[in-house]
Chains A and B, each alone.
Chain A
Amino acid sequence: MSAVAADAAFLQIQDVVKEFAGFRAVNQVSLDIARGEIFALLGPSGCGKSTLLRMLAGFEQPTAGRIVLGGRDLAELPPHERPMNMMFQSYALFPHLTVAENIAFGPKREGLPKAQVEERVQRMLELVQLTRFALRKPHQLSGGQQQRVALARSLAKQPQLLLLDEPLGALDKKLREQTQLELVNIVESVGVTCVMVTHDQEEAMAMASRIAIMSEGRMLQVGPPAEVYETPGTRFVADFIGNVNLMDGTLTVDEPDHVVIECADCRHYVGHGITGTVGMAVTVALRPEKIFLSHQPQPDGMNCVQGQVKEIAYLGSFTVYHLRLAGGAMLKASVANTQRHSDQQITWDDQVWANWSPSSQVVLTQ
């Protein structure tokens, strides 16, 4: 077995199913996670991602399927014998122990000699920059500090796999952005494989090297963030990640290098071929930031549509324009505010043209 192949299949989740009294929380999920990856499970609440994580940790048993870590079937192992550690959503710091004692808890269970435990604790404290707080109790720390203690505690045993359950959920927005990068740096410097669960897309895309989108217990799409965002495979995924305009239409021209799709209000020219037949019903997914607004349509009349500005949402770094099209449908266009004072003043009730390039849409058949 070559090194590459071994790494590619470091953590294998094979056809895992979890049923709770007739309800399938996890439905035939299969994943291969490579060593050293930061992998995110992304999905709305109730999609089964937390259940899957708990099965990895050993707090739930799969109803069917296998979980294999480094070639070893985990079903034999109870939670306290698994070579992985979890950072809980509520941090679950032991309130009656100090920060140092919390971090030392894991290594002590391993039976390490006292000096080594001490050294490990010091190293962890330095890693998360909390050396000064070693003797404080959890309730004496701020939310961000508690999170770092939780992280240090879960890394103290040098686990093969790190599980993160909504790691940034409890933090406010500013702190969250800061912590995202810090967290990634720490995890990468330690070199541990990481599986995280989140419902926050930005978090998943910013931190993970690969994302899996889950819904209702099923895995819908797996891939690097850019791939999932720019090449969604289904309507659900396109809609779930970011903002999108979905337009239903019919395939009218099907050539190997281009296709044309006829929608209610506009015609799409897509600069690549797709697998399909003429007359097929498809959906075109177009992200708002791919649209640019002007008072002129495209010269060939395709990949453009005229609409009336009904809503303007000024969001600081960009502005979202909601256009009502001739047929009554709404189109969202997102324009970056590159100038402090733009000379192109678009205001309510203006008739504008929304234009986009031939490679910016995604054609979806499901």
Chain B
Amino acid sequence: MATWRNLLHNRPRWLGGRGAVIGLPYLFLGAFFLLPFFIVLKISVSEMENVSFKDVLTLQDGVLQLTLKLSTYVFLTEDPLYWRTYVASLQYAAATTVLCLFIGYPFAYFMARARPTAQPALLMLVMLPFWTSFLLRVYAWRGLLTEGGWAAEAITGLGLDRLLLALGLISAPGQLMHTPFSLVLGMTYTYLPFMILPLYGNLAKMDMRLLEAAADLGATPWTAFWKITVPLSKAGIIAGSMLVFIPCVGEFVIPELLGGPETLMIGRVLWDEFFSNNDWPMASAVAVVMVLLIIVPLAIFSRYQAESQEARR
């Protein structure tokens, strides 16, 4: 009984349980998500010795010595391959995000404007591909885009491949696979649901009466769209864009299956450094720089998540 009084004065309703509820997931994330990053950081500045590392912190003659091997990073910044690949990754990710937005926004918009009875079905139809293996669907594009595949036939048949050639997206007419075109197509395809879902969630909740008010005040539908609908869906646009852009930067599977030698992305570099070259410090350094590159979008996304939690309260 006496303990109740003490605990009550600290306000929590769930008392002793509170520590476990917060602590358990926190500990899990700290141990398996946060801590590993620090280890990666440490390894990126370590010397690789056969299969193990020299310790960064050593005790020599009774004095703690900090041996940081920064040459890995130096190499990273000096070798143009890495620099170009980082830039290319950011560019591909940006292109994918823009395409997803271009295709996905009207998609989500018309979904949200459809009859309320039809919307659950429409949503389910978007979710269904999402639930089927993405690996298999990306693999399917391989079939579709190789010579003789349906999409390849359609595109060459319509003469669009010459347009793509002119844009520099493919290097030879009829050769649609292993090109920037196939890569961006594959990534856009895979990440499209990630753009549509937050946008739809946002647009579906929008108060239609705002548009009625705008019309009443003399705005044309086009004006109302740009002045009211789009600004109000900003949160959805940001969420969708971050959900597409950030993972795209480090994407590995799609470039591997649909990309080619000229579409090198940083995820592939990391993979090769680790699995092919067995150069763990290098792979770690590549990872660290990758995280640094996406730290700003990551912060934006994190803040958006926190804000949308607050808004729900």
- A contacts B directly (C-beta below 8 A): yes
Number of A positions contacting B (CB below 8 A): 5
A330 an interface residue at 8 Å Cβ cutoff? no
Query: Which residues of A have CB within 8 Å of B11?
Result: 61
Segment touching A, from B2-10, B31-39, B242-250: B2-10
A192 an interface residue at 8 Å Cβ cutoff? no
Would you give the 0/1 interface string for A62-102, flagging 1 where the beta carbon is closer than 8 Å to chain B?
00000000000001111000000000000000000000000
Report B60-96 residues with CB < 8 Å from chain A CB.
none
4 more A-B contacts (CB under 8 A) besides A61-B9, A76-B1, A76-B5? Answer: A61-B8, A61-B11, A76-B4, A78-B8
Query: Which residues of A have CB within 8 Å of B5?
Result: 75-76
Would you give the 0/1 interface string for A178-217, flagging 1 where the beta carbon is closer than 8 Å to chain B?
0000000000000000000000000000000000000000
Query: Which residues of B have CB within 8 Å of A77?
Result: 4
Report A139-162 residues with CB < 8 Å from chain B CB.
none
Would you give the 0/1 interface string for B1-45, flagging 1 where the beta carbon is closer than 8 Å to chain A?
100110011010000000000000000000000000000000000
List B residues at the A interface (Cβ < 8 Å). Answer: 1, 4-5, 8-9, 11
Docked Cα-Cα span, A278 to B9, in Å, equals 53
Report A34-68 residues with CB < 8 Å from chain B CB.
61
Q: Are A78 and B4 touching (Cβ within 8 A)?
A: yes
- Say whether chain A's binding surface is mostly helix, strand, loop, or mixed: loop
Query: Which residues of B have CB within 8 Å of A61?
Result: 8-9, 11
Query: Which residues of A have CB within 8 Å of B8?
Result: 61, 75, 78
Docked Cα-Cα span, A76 to B3, in Å, equals 9
Tell me the minimal C-beta distance from B283 to chain A in angstroms. 49
5 contacts between A and B (CB under 8 A): A61-B9, A75-B5, A75-B8, A76-B1, A76-B4
Least CB separation from A79: chain B residue: B13
Docked Cα-Cα span, A75 to B4, in Å, equals 9
Docked Cα-Cα span, A191 to B207, in Å, equals 48
| 6 closest cross-chain pairs (CB), A and B | A61-B8, A76-B5, A76-B1, A78-B4, A61-B9, A75-B5
Tell me the minimal C-beta distance from A279 to chain B in angstroms. 52
Docked Cα-Cα span, A261 to B5, in Å, equals 56
Query: Which residues of B have CB within 8 Å of A76?
Result: 1, 4-5
Query: Which residues of B have CB within 8 Å of A75?
Result: 5, 8
Least CB separation from B15: chain A residue: A78
Tell me the minimal C-beta distance from B5 to chain A in angstroms. 6
Docked Cα-Cα span, A75 to B1, in Å, equals 10
Docked Cα-Cα span, A61 to B6, in Å, equals 11
Query: Which residues of B have CB within 8 Å of A78?
Result: 4, 8
Docked Cα-Cα span, A77 to B5, in Å, equals 8
Least CB separation from B2: chain A residue: A76
Tell me the minimal C-beta distance from B10 to chain A in angstroms. 9
Docked Cα-Cα span, A76 to B4, in Å, equals 7
Least CB separation from A73: chain B residue: B5
Would you give the 0/1 interface string for A281-320, flagging 1 where the beta carbon is closer than 8 Å to chain B?
0000000000000000000000000000000000000000
Docked Cα-Cα span, A75 to B2, in Å, equals 10
Least CB separation from B10: chain A residue: A61
Docked Cα-Cα span, A229 to B4, in Å, equals 43
Least CB separation from A75: chain B residue: B5
Tell me the minimal C-beta distance from A29 to chain B in angstroms. 19
Tell me the minimal C-beta distance from A9 to chain B in angstroms. 23
Least CB separation from A59: chain B residue: B13
Docked Cα-Cα span, A226 to B144, in Å, equals 85
Tell me the minimal C-beta distance from B233 to chain A in angstroms. 30
Tell me the minimal C-beta distance from B2 to chain A in angstroms. 8
Docked Cα-Cα span, A360 to B4, in Å, equals 54
Tell me the minimal C-beta distance from B8 to chain A in angstroms. 6
Least CB separation from B7: chain A residue: A78
Docked Cα-Cα span, A61 to B4, in Å, equals 12
Docked Cα-Cα span, A75 to B5, in Å, equals 7
Least CB separation from B8: chain A residue: A61
Tell me the minimal C-beta distance from A2 to chain B in angstroms. 31
Docked Cα-Cα span, A45 to B54, in Å, equals 67
Docked Cα-Cα span, A61 to B1, in Å, equals 16
Tell me the minimal C-beta distance from B3 to chain A in angstroms. 10
Docked Cα-Cα span, A78 to B11, in Å, equals 11
Tell me the minimal C-beta distance from A147 to chain B in angstroms. 26
Tell me the minimal C-beta distance from A56 to chain B in angstroms. 14
Least CB separation from A77: chain B residue: B4
Docked Cα-Cα span, A77 to B4, in Å, equals 7
Least CB separation from A78: chain B residue: B4
Docked Cα-Cα span, A212 to B1, in Å, equals 33
Tell me the minimal C-beta distance from A82 to chain B in angstroms. 12
Docked Cα-Cα span, A48 to B77, in Å, equals 63
Docked Cα-Cα span, A61 to B8, in Å, equals 7
Least CB separation from B1: chain A residue: A76
Query: Which residues of A have CB within 8 Å of B9?
Result: 61
Docked Cα-Cα span, A75 to B9, in Å, equals 9
Docked Cα-Cα span, A78 to B9, in Å, equals 11
Docked Cα-Cα span, A76 to B7, in Å, equals 10
Docked Cα-Cα span, A61 to B9, in Å, equals 7
Docked Cα-Cα span, A77 to B9, in Å, equals 11
Tell me the minimal C-beta distance from A165 to chain B in angstroms. 18
